[in-house]
Structure 1
Amino acid sequence: MHFTLPRYLRTLRETFADFVYGIDAANAIRHGLQPSPRRTARNTR
């Protein structure tokens, strides 16, 4: 049972990342910018 919690946390984190990326993509489309500059900057760090 100890493997269900990390899997749940991983799924929750991925869902949250998709949610944040969706918001960034929507803002990018609305403003005509490249999608999610914040996420790429966070990934390069």
Structure 2
Amino acid sequence: ERVLLPDENQYKAPKEFREEILNAMKKQAPKDYQRMIMEYYKDLVQ
């Protein structure tokens, strides 16, 4: 079954949700997760 994804002009997340995501991005990840996160980012760019 084909699923159509909305383009950037068809959907905009609520302002509170966007702000929550941006604020979470400013925080440092827990030490237990930092290595896994770095590996994830490295895999993305390879």
Is this a same-fold pair by TM over 0.5?
Answer: no
Which TM-score band (shorter chain)? 0.3 to 0.5
Greater relative CO, 1 or 2 (CA 8 Å, sep 6+): 1
Give the structure-1-normalised TM-score.
0.34
Give the greater-gyration-radius structure (CA). 2
User: Between Structure 1 and Structure 2, which shows a larger proportion of helix residues?
Assistant: 1
TM-score, normalisation: structure 2: 0.33
